[in-house]
Structure 1
Amino acid sequence: MPDQREEGAAPPSPPGPESDPSSAPRAGAPRPAARLMRSFATVGGWTMASRILGLVRDVMIAAALGAGPAAEAFVAAFTLPNLFRRFFAEGAFNTAFIPMFARRHETEGPDAARDFAEQAMAALTTVLLVFTALAQVAMPFLVLAIASGFAGDERFDLTVEYGRITFPYILFISLAALLSGVLNSVGRFAAAAAAPTLLNVILIGAMIVAQAGVFAGLAGPDDPPGYVEGLCASWGAAIAGVAQLWLVWRAASRAGMPIRLRLPRLTPEVKRLAIIAFPAALAGGVMQINLVVGRQVASWFDGAVAWLYYADRLYQLPLGVIGVAIGVVLLPELSRRLSAGDEPGVREAMGRSTEFALALTLPATAALVAIPWPLASVLFGRGAFEAEDVAATALAVAIYGAGLPAFVLQKIAQPMFFAREDTRTPFNYALVGLVVNAAAAVGLAPVIGFTSAAVATTLAAWVNVFLLWRGARARFGEEARPDARLRRRTPRILLASVLMGGASWAAAQAMAPWLAAPGLRYLALAALVLGAMALYAALVVALKGVVVGDLKAAMRRGGRR
């Protein structure tokens, strides 16, 4: 349900007695937990729409490109801007920017916060323009850095060509992420959450145009199958970055935060932002090195880059909906609570966020581990995507699925440090994860092949989340400890998920002929997934892992705004 302070609403008022987060709620006003649930629902709903469209996009790309040279080249090329956006967008920059912006908005008012945002945008734009220009020149070296196995074959030249087209996406999406941080910090979540749908809509359109043969003449006699489709997808990604930036800039202006581009200046605020962002950039760099290690290992196995990409897209569906929703909402919420000295509010936000995450993540994990083959087969098994590709993708889906809870719990644990402007501690923990990931990916590759990259990613995620939670409990005490409600409900949610996973596996075996039958397999998969969801809902309510009355009460309180 969208927040009623959406685009077009009046600009937020400066903080006062009524808006003080530490004050008691007014009659009829939503309590913090209700506001969190509504914000999660807003971001999660739009993210779900984006992920479903993304799944449609990936199904179309898989059918058109399969797992051949053009597919691997596009996946590697699109990895480059998405890899570096973790430095300049959702990762390092916004990790530092959001708490500083939220604190200014809370204590000094909208004008001071907007001035800071404009300073930050000027600095970020300057850095990105220089970086994008250098990347165009150095593209062959960047390709070797992420996929040295491509050297000497047609995939290398294709990746360089596609990479030069897609790379400017980083400029537009990073600026869009800054504006999204502004919107989220003032409680406007819908527009920022809706922006990623534009990428998927535009890429779907690009695939339709390519399949219609509009640009078929661009393919030369030596180009591999799928060359034009990859070219259209690359241009679609670049255009989508412009569209996303325009959407959130317009939304910020209508929300009373018109951010204007100005000449960059090294002000004390910008210096402070850079000092805080630097350790986060290093932490983000460590995480991206993990990704590069996985890509490097996969690049030495034909088809593996594409297999891991499609598997990644499947587990990213629940991770995006749950993890992104929590990550987007929790950091500004904790920053506001800490600024107001509201320690009980911090613990309540942490407890309800973790409960919400586990209630949705654990059943998703059970499904990904129990029924990966039906998911990969029905969704991707068509056109150029053959049976061998389906089997390899399904195996990777199950391995990634086992790490899904860790990926989501990181989104909850990290904001405890980031909200206090501590980006150094997560960096130190990420270094440990880097060592674990590299050792597992490289060391296991001769033994288990391309799946070593997925195993290493999952293992490193669990190590990192363990270190984050242990460090948070040691530093922040009761704020980081599970409350009684969370301790009581977690085992019940886990039991309901395990029972649902077992039932889903048994049902998939019984439905195997239908899941493989042309024309029937889509309905069979829909029945399997919907049946699993219904069973989990019944089990988790019966076991009191989720109490229906709590959900109704939260929605009623939220609806009184």
Structure 2
Amino acid sequence: MSMQKSTIIKKSLQIGIISSLSKVIAIARETLLVQFLGVGALSDAFYVAFQIPNRLRKFFAEGTLSSVMIPAFVHAHKEQGNSGINRLATAAFLWVESIVFLICLGVFLFPEYVITKQAQGFSEIQIMYAKQYVQILISFILFLSSGAVFAAALQAQHHVIVPALSPAILNIIYVSSLFACIWYNWSIATFCWCMVGASIFFFIMQVAAFFWYGFRFEKPDTKTWNDLGYVMFQFLASFISFGALELSHFIDTGFASYLKQGSITLFRAAFNFINLPLGILSASFMTALLPYFSKLKYKEKEEIEYHYTQALMFITWMTLPIVFLMTVFSYKIFQTLYASRFTPDNIIETGNNLIAYLIALPFMAGNRFLLNVCYIYKITFAPVIIAIVTTGCNYVLNKLLISSMGTAGLALGTSIACILQTIFYILLIHYKAHIKIDFKKFITFLFNYSTQLILASSILYLIYQGLYTIIAQQTFTKDLIFFTINQSFFTEGLGFWMWVGPLCAVYLASLYGTKKWFNIEIFYL
């Protein structure tokens, strides 16, 4: 195993384990949030208010900013060592936070305008509550974006543990705050302040790690400002392209606000669950791979194309089993977690939304990688055009599908737009960067993997149905302090995952363990 491969796999595993822990805590957070808010006008108001800073987070504190800053920090270190990173981090911190502060100020001063632009169908009561919440929540993006600059500098030098661990710590604080809010019957506004406090802690963590690894603030020179100017140009260009999925969700939310009250809550529940595997894959494999790909562009073309194809194969290998599992258990996910606040109709609607999203999960994950490849090769303008075109397609599809399919139509429209986006990115990289996919190898892999998946998934489904039937036919009751254990607990409650979870783990392990039987060879496995 080469040192490069060993490093990527090691970092991916480290970040993946931490990120998975964070996502498990995130599930607990979402479950408690539903318990706290319920489903209705007030929950819709909170989610719309929260989406505004959270959407800015996707641009200024996660994907977009990281995608342009990490290669820039790699380049700065290559030319000037740690001093280059110090100067660029200082300049980026000053520049980015100036922009974010002005945005926060605008939202704070004109909350009603922002709310009504996002949820045109809101009632006056919903607008009133959403205004109150967004004026509190908007400040948390200020601290998250500040921390993200220093996190990008750390990731560029492969110091990934603190940036990867931070989301888990944030979620722990959120969960603790929700427990307190439910227990003491605190208001939603109080929970909003707790979220702001968590963002301050996140910022302190990143700055402390930045200094711990020997970096510091350093006065930027003329070259640093020039380099930052180009980075900011890339950032502005990527603002639309990298956030295409978030922009689509913004449009979808506007459409959902015209549907019955609670529709935004149900739509968001499905969107959050599709982001769980996306977040893990992005945080682990792509975070570890991006600095490597930034250096790989200086290598021979054949080596670049080899790793390009292998990365797409790996993303496909990771996402297809998740599509199967989440589709099979889509309704059970929401039944077991949210049954106390969701009606049966709510569960069915949210499950349908999730299935509609899952159609495009491999493409959503692939788009994040493909867009990063574009930025590494300084292709910045064309992805903006692609994002605008596909977002326009999403809007048209929403208009066509919402009347017949409701919120599921909105999710399906987003999925189709994501698939189109993947096709456009592959063509763009082919013609602009002159990097080609080895289609012969990819199609052979896809055929072999499909054969393995069909066989393994069929066996899993038969075992699942058999065990479910056996458990459902049992009659037993055991009263404990906080809940009762009976057959319903294992078929409709949280006990369902006590036996289905290990079953899914065995299924995933079997795919890895038997890959050689089906001639599946991927560099990153």
2:139 is aligned, of 135, 151, 168, to 168
Q: CA deviation at 1:280?
A: 1.1
Distance 1:33-1:354 versus aligned 2 partners, 3 A rule: farther
Q: CA deviation at 1:245?
A: 1.1
Which residue does the alignment assign to 1:475? 432
Distance 1:501-1:151 versus aligned 2 partners, 3 A rule: farther
Matches within 5 A, 1:56-455: 56-152=28-124, 154-213=125-184, 215=186, 228=187, 230-259=188-217, 267-284=225-242, 286-301=244-259, 302-338=261-297, 340-382=298-340, 384-455=341-412
Tell me the secondary structure at the aligned position of residue 438 of structure 2: coil
Which residue does the alignment assign to 1:24? none
Question: Does structure 1 conserve the Cα–Cα contact (< 8 Å) formed by 2:360 and 2:418?
Answer: yes
> Counterpart of 2:415 in structure 1: which amino acid?
T
CA distance in 2, matches of 1:237, 1:401: 29
Per-residue CA deviations over 1:18-70 (Å, capped at 9, x if unaligned) read xxxxxxxxxxx952222222222122221111111000011111122221222
Question: Does structure 2 conserve the Cα–Cα contact (< 8 Å) formed by 1:399 and 1:458?
Answer: yes
2:14 is aligned, of 27, 38, 42, to 42
Structure 1 moving runs of 4+ over 6 Å: 260-266, 545-551
CA distance in 2, matches of 1:144, 1:316: 26
Which residue does the alignment assign to 1:457? 414
Distance 1:517-1:440 versus aligned 2 partners, 3 A rule: farther
> Counterpart of 2:320 in structure 1: which amino acid?
L
Q: CA deviation at 1:177?
A: 1.6
Percent identical: 16
Question: Does structure 2 conserve the Cα–Cα contact (< 8 Å) formed by 1:283 and 1:426?
Answer: yes
> Counterpart of 2:12 in structure 1: which amino acid?
F
TM-score, scaled to structure 2: 0.89
Q: Which has the higher contact order (CA 8 A, sep 6+)?
A: 1
- More displaced, 156-165 or 344-353? 344-353
Per-residue CA deviations over 1:157-177 (Å, capped at 9, x if unaligned) read 111111111111111111122
Structure 1 unaligned spans of 5+:
1-28, 216-227, 556-561
Question: Does structure 1 conserve the Cα–Cα contact (< 8 Å) formed by 2:29 and 2:175?
Answer: yes
Question: Does structure 1 conserve the Cα–Cα contact (< 8 Å) formed by 2:16 and 2:284?
Answer: yes
Per-residue CA deviations over 1:499-519 (Å, capped at 9, x if unaligned) read 444455555555279589543
- More displaced, 502-511 or 269-278? 502-511
CA distance in 1, matches of 2:27, 2:180: 18
Question: Does structure 2 conserve the Cα–Cα contact (< 8 Å) formed by 1:347 and 1:480?
Answer: yes
> Counterpart of 2:290 in structure 1: which amino acid?
L
- More displaced, 422-431 or 496-505? 496-505
Q: CA deviation at 1:197?
A: 1.2
Tell me the secondary structure at the aligned position of residue 258 of structure 1: coil
Q: CA deviation at 1:278?
A: 2.0
> Counterpart of 2:129 in structure 1: which amino acid?
L
Distance 1:236-1:47 versus aligned 2 partners, 3 A rule: same
Q: How many residues align?
A: 508
1:519 and 2:489 correspond: yes
Q: CA deviation at 1:236?
A: 2.3
Distance 1:512-1:360 versus aligned 2 partners, 3 A rule: farther
Distance 1:507-1:163 versus aligned 2 partners, 3 A rule: farther
> Counterpart of 2:451 in structure 1: which amino acid?
L
> Counterpart of 1:462 in structure 2: which amino acid?
I
Distance 1:258-1:349 versus aligned 2 partners, 3 A rule: farther
CA distance in 1, matches of 2:277, 2:358: 10
Tell me the secondary structure at the aligned position of residue 195 of structure 1: helix
CA distance in 1, matches of 2:213, 2:2: 21
- More displaced, 80-89 or 313-322? 80-89
Which residue does the alignment assign to 2:423? 466
Q: CA deviation at 1:110?
A: 1.4
Question: Does structure 2 conserve the Cα–Cα contact (< 8 Å) formed by 1:541 and 1:547?
Answer: no
> Counterpart of 1:496 in structure 2: which amino acid?
Q
Distance 1:468-1:545 versus aligned 2 partners, 3 A rule: farther
TM-score, scaled to structure 1: 0.83
- More displaced, 463-472 or 515-524? 515-524
Q: CA deviation at 1:325?
A: 2.4
Tell me the secondary structure at the aligned position of residue 495 of structure 2: helix
- More displaced, 255-264 or 328-337? 255-264
Tell me the secondary structure at the aligned position of residue 459 of structure 1: helix
Question: Does structure 2 conserve the Cα–Cα contact (< 8 Å) formed by 1:500 and 1:536?
Answer: no
Q: CA deviation at 1:449?
A: 1.4
Question: Does structure 2 conserve the Cα–Cα contact (< 8 Å) formed by 1:417 and 1:425?
Answer: no
Question: Does structure 2 conserve the Cα–Cα contact (< 8 Å) formed by 1:47 and 1:321?
Answer: yes
CA distance in 2, matches of 1:274, 1:87: 12
> Counterpart of 2:40 in structure 1: which amino acid?
G
Which residue does the alignment assign to 1:492? 448
Distance 1:150-1:40 versus aligned 2 partners, 3 A rule: same
Q: CA deviation at 1:378?
A: 0.9
Question: Does structure 2 conserve the Cα–Cα contact (< 8 Å) formed by 1:91 and 1:284?
Answer: yes
Question: Does structure 1 conserve the Cα–Cα contact (< 8 Å) formed by 2:34 and 2:338?
Answer: yes
2:5 is aligned, of 26, 33, 45, to 33
CA distance in 1, matches of 2:105, 2:203: 19
Question: Does structure 1 conserve the Cα–Cα contact (< 8 Å) formed by 2:83 and 2:218?
Answer: no
Q: CA deviation at 1:423?
A: 1.6
Q: CA deviation at 1:89?
A: 2.9
Tell me the secondary structure at the aligned position of residue 441 of structure 1: helix
Q: CA deviation at 1:298?
A: 1.1
Q: CA deviation at 1:405?
A: 0.6
Distance 1:544-1:186 versus aligned 2 partners, 3 A rule: same
Q: CA deviation at 1:99?
A: 1.7
